[in-house]
Chain A
């Protein structure tokens, strides 16, 4: 398989958030700012990459009937590792993301890739797929976080460029839904043009 194609599908054609609609809970929940979004995206990418690697290495030893529980245990182990590492090295980000760190376990994207890709493909393909999908997810969170931070807070990456407050709605819950709705619409439009 062409590895560049395999990598880039996660970014655009099969983008987890904009096209496949996987992993929407953290997408909406943590993107109040760019930093939070990218932090969450990278944490998910790490879990996705590691679980893809382990799943593809032991795929021949797992009996078919218990494969889903086995995948969940593998994923949960890496989530626990990320949880403990973040608690020590990035305590402020850990507090901001809060509940959504343990919830990486139930991110459909991670389990979906383990089941649909890593358990059927070679080591290299699985690594590339994990990286591509993870970075695509991070990119989506970056865009959504960017839109919400710029409109809601009048700042980007923490640098304020207007006086006073932005449109507070975009930081609050409804803004997340509305901003994501419009971003998916734009993505639809672009995909239709290139197709």
Chain B
């Protein structure tokens, strides 16, 4: 039951993009086409889940026992940067097709605050290992869902006659606002 609450809360009620404002850069940056946002979602899911597991283990078996949890920020970002690099090298060797598909998105993930944010939130919420994994998967799904819906809307938006100064980013933000408003309808279901 606990897991279901974590999942629904992370995907709908506290959606990582539309309610917590994490990962806005890729949300605005790569949401022009549906295909690119699928690629981005795949890469983010991969890194987010692995990063959450590794940072959980680091936090509970190294940082806390040695009393150096103030090093959290530095450690976590280094882990994520290293992971992204590792994933990139591994994918290149193991699955060149997937590597081609994700290509340009992989290095961008290091500075995606959603990954670091989820890792820190999982620690702050005192989740155990399984809860952390569930939490990170749910957040990745929430990120992907928001990105997909948004890129679908933006593809349509290109055909619409928008006032000149509003073209591009401003109208995208207003659409994102309306989308966030729609997601607010989920408030209170958990």
Contact = CB atoms under 8 A, between A and B. Distances in A.
B5 interface: no
Contacts of A175: 177
Given A76-B77, A105-B116, A173 B171 contact: no
B170 A182 contact: yes
Contact of B117 (A24, A73, A103, A185): A103
B28 A21 contact: yes
B70 A80 contact: yes
Interface stretch (B14-22, B135-143, B151-159): B14-22
B77 A106 contact: yes
**Main secondary structure on A side of the interface with B:** helix
Contacts of A79: 73
A24, A83, A169, most chain B CB atoms within 10 A: A24
Q: Is the interface of B mostly helix, strand, loop or mixed?
A: helix
A108 interface: yes
Interface in B26-42: 28-29
Contacts of A76: 73-74, 77-78
Interface in A20-62: 21-22, 24-26, 28-29
B78 A184 contact: no
**Max count, chain B CB within 10 A of own CB: residue among A79, A111, A185, A189:** A185
A108 B113 CA distance: 9
Contacts of B170: 181-182, 184-185, 188
Interface stretch (B58-66, B86-94, B97-105, B178-186): B178-186
6 contacts: A72-B81, A99-B124, A176-B177, A177-B180, A178-B174, A188-B170
Given A80-B70, A173-B21, 19 more contacts: A21-B29, A25-B113, A28-B24, A29-B22, A68-B81, A72-B110, A76-B74, A80-B71, A103-B113, A106-B110, A106-B111, A108-B111, A174-B177, A177-B177, A181-B172, A184-B169, A188-B165, A188-B166, A189-B165
**7 closest Cβ pairs, A-B complex:** A181-B173, A177-B177, A178-B177, A29-B21, A181-B174, A174-B180, A174-B181
Interface of B: 18-25, 28-29, 70-74, 76-78, 81, 110-113, 116-117, 120-121, 124, 165-166, 169-174, 176-178, 180-181, 184
Interface of A: 21-22, 24-26, 28-29, 68-69, 72-73, 76-77, 79-80, 83-84, 99, 102-103, 105-108, 111, 169, 172-178, 180-182, 184-186, 188-189, 192
